[in-house]
Chains A and B, each alone.
Chain A
Amino acid sequence: DTGVSQDPRHKITKRGQNVTFRCDPISEHNRLYWYRQTLGQGPEFLTYFQNEAQLEKSRLLSDRFSAERPKGSFSTLEIQRTEQGDSAMYLCASSSGQGARYQETQYFGPGTRLLVL
């Protein structure tokens, strides 16, 4: 089991460009979460997938953000027309989906650090 992986680890882009991040969860984990962390703050929830279904989106996820999880495996997070305020660490986490009442551990990937110039 190799854990949650994310690609790329770092991304520098110019304002107005589109970027896409990928997350590969732990094998056979049904639940996948995206979070965003800015300097000095804890991670903030963005969106949640149960298999391929996107079941919750945060108000933080503006219409410039879109996430997918085709076939319930890896997930992508796309940001269109990036703004300087999008600069942050984007974290992906997965959990097995076997826990009762969602009382289970989420395992995080290393994150993608985005810098928008």
Chain B
Amino acid sequence: DQQVKQNSPSLSVQEGRISILNCDYTNSMFDYFLWYKKYPAEGPTFLISISSIKDKNEDGRFTVFLNKSAKHLSLHIVPSQPGDSAVYFCAASGGSSNTGKLIFGQGTTLQVKP
């Protein structure tokens, strides 16, 4: 039962353009969502988060949008830079669990071409 899904395994964009990474979830009780970035052989690095009471959160080049009715969130990176090339994971918490454990998607590999 994959509660958080990232349906695009990979994405390639040109430097300076916008990168849009998508994530869908099935559990309507999730109330907190996060995006992490991961380089090979390293642990995930936190990027940005959003609470279910909001529909948008912005931090520099990164913006996360949440559409609760569609159970969909997206991460926009503008402008994309070659250093953004990594695997991006969305994660959700809440639901029936009261421990804050994160449920992750499978990840999307982003390649930003110079």
Interchain CB contact (< 8 A) of A109 among B6, B34, B43, B94? B43
Q: What's the least CB distance linking A87 to chain B, in Å?
A: 15
Residues of A7-37 contacting chain B, CB below 8 A: 31, 33, 35
Chain B interface residue count, CB cutoff 8 Å, equals 29
Let me know if B69 is at the binding interface, CB within 8 A.
no
Q: What's the least CB distance linking A62 to chain B, in Å?
A: 18
Give the total number of A-B pairs whose CB atoms are below 8 A apart.
Answer: 78
Q: List the interface of chain B (C-beta within 8 A of A).
A: 4, 6, 31-32, 34, 36, 41-46, 49, 51, 89, 91, 93-94, 97-107
Given A91-B44, A108-B44, A111-B43, A45-B106 contact (CB < 8 Å): no
Q: Which residues of A contact B44 (CB under 8 A)?
A: 43, 91, 108
- Show 10 A/B contacts (Cβ-Cβ < 8 Å), sorted by A: A33-B100, A42-B6, A42-B89, A48-B99, A101-B32, A102-B98, A102-B99, A103-B93, A108-B44, A111-B42
Let me know if A4 is at the binding interface, CB within 8 A.
yes
- Asked if B101 contacts A48 (CB within 8 A), the reply is yes
Q: Which residues of B contact A48 (CB under 8 A)?
A: 99-101
- Asked if A105 contacts B106 (CB within 8 A), the reply is no
Q: Which residues of B contact A108 (CB under 8 A)?
A: 36, 43-46
